[in-house]
Amino acid sequence: MSVTASAHRRDEYLQATRIAVEPDRVQVELDLTAGISVAEAVIRDIDRDGSGVISGDEARRYATAVVKAVRLDVDRRPLQVELINVTVPELGAIRNGEGVIRLELSARLPALAAGAHQIFFLNAHRADIGVYLANALAPVNPRIAIVAQRRDVAQREITIDYALTASSVTGARMLLPLGALVVLSLAAFGWMRERPTL
């Protein structure tokens, strides 16, 4: 029997990660859903002034704390993870165990050669109450092929093996100057033939 993300236990903080690998960057979408019995603890972490309303600054401050608890590597080299966006639902939805806090993260990849590469992701946020899911998304760019995914038992960690193929743009860029040279050469040849002799 399959268990959906919405059927998590009341005393758990479900943290579901989806990772999209592109040739030049990694995009991470992280959904955080607190169970009813741990919702107040999560709300206290976000609503620092206890006003009952989550301000934009409070949402970003909480998201920044989450980012500090994650690790993202390519080929065992750490990447700089940037917070792109955070969405926090109404507190009532969080208390009911239905509100999803969504973080959108991004990390730029260094220039990588064509061939085999590896992405490693670790989420250590609220390990005291957290339960985790992690998956790689199907690539959109045809240059990327996911070869394998490996997770630890808790799914706090995921390793994604992928293959990167060479860009066809490089070849096209090399052909453009060559084509221009041929055109210029033919034009010059025609111009020389048409010039009157002295």
Q: Tokens 């706090």 belong to which residue?
A: 156
Q: What does the pLDDT read at residue 16? A: 98
Q: Determine the Cα angle at 6 with ends 2 and 8, to 5°.
A: 80
Nearest to 162 by CA among 74, 72, 30: 74
Nearest to 20 by CA among 155, 160, 128, 115: 160
Neighbours of 130 (CB within 10 A): 19
Q: For the residues 76-92, what does the mean pLDDT come to?
A: 97
Residue 178, by phi and psi: left (phi above 0), alpha (psi -120 to 50) or beta?
Answer: alpha
Q: Lowest mean pLDDT: which of 75-84, 120-129, 182-191?
A: 182-191
1: Cα within 13 Å, side-chain hemisphere: 2
**What DSSP letter does each residue of 10-25 carry, written as one string?**
TT-EEEEEEEEE-SSE
Q: Determine the Cα angle at 140 with ends 86 and 123, to 5°.
A: 40
Distances 108 to 21, 75, 113, 134 between C-alpha atoms, Å = 10, 14, 15, 20
Q: What does the pLDDT read at residue 167? A: 85
Q: For the residues 134-154, what does the mean pLDDT come to?
A: 97
Is residue 128 within 8 A of residue 45, CB to CB? The reply is no
Q: 119 pLDDT band (50/70/90 cuts)?
A: very high
Q: Collect all residues with Cβ–Cβ distance below 8 Å to 41 and sequence separation of at least 6.
A: 34, 129
Q: What does the pLDDT read at residue 8? A: 64
Mean pLDDT of the chain: 86
